[in-house]
Amino acid sequence: MYHLTALVTLLAIAFYFFTCINVARSRDKTGVKVPAMSGHPDFDRAFRIQMNTLEWMPIFLPSLWLFAIYISDAIAAGIGVVWIVGRIVYFIGYSQAAAKRSPGFAIQALAAFALWAGAIGAVVLRMV
């Protein structure tokens, strides 16, 4: 069973949901009305945090699950937690200033790459 990976998946979805709520709150706070996609620097940063998280989900989630299936549920979950921590660091940094987003981005990108590389390596090894 993949209980740990399932839990990390649910936490990642909860974090994404949090970013959605943050965008709605930012709209209210800054006065950016729907359907506008920009208009105030604070809103723009909140929106980009949400969109960047969404952009990474199709990279992260399949890699997470394939790693869990082919290598280890516990290791996949551990790396998945690192990805979530990276997203949180990204959220905090980018919320303050665009220039502060890089450390969180690097953490989550390395975690996603580790999951992807591990999964592809394990799949290829089983094929030969």
Range of the domain at 82: 3-127
Question: Residue for token digits 């290791």?
Answer: 75
88, 80 Cβ separation under 8 angstroms: no
Tell me which DSSP letter residue 40 carries: S
Residues 98-114: tens digit of each pLDDT: 999 999 999 999 999 99
Backbone dihedral region for residue 40 (phi beyond 0: left; psi -120 to 50: alpha; all else: beta): beta
Residues 59-116: tens digit of each pLDDT: 999 999 999 999 999 999 999 999 999 999 999 999 999 999 999 999 999 999 999 9
| Model pLDDT, residue 28 | 97
Q: How many domains does the chain have?
A: 1
The CATH number of whichever domain residue 71 belongs to comes to 1.20.120.550
32 CB neighbour count, 10 Å cutoff: 20
Average pLDDT over residues 52-56: 98
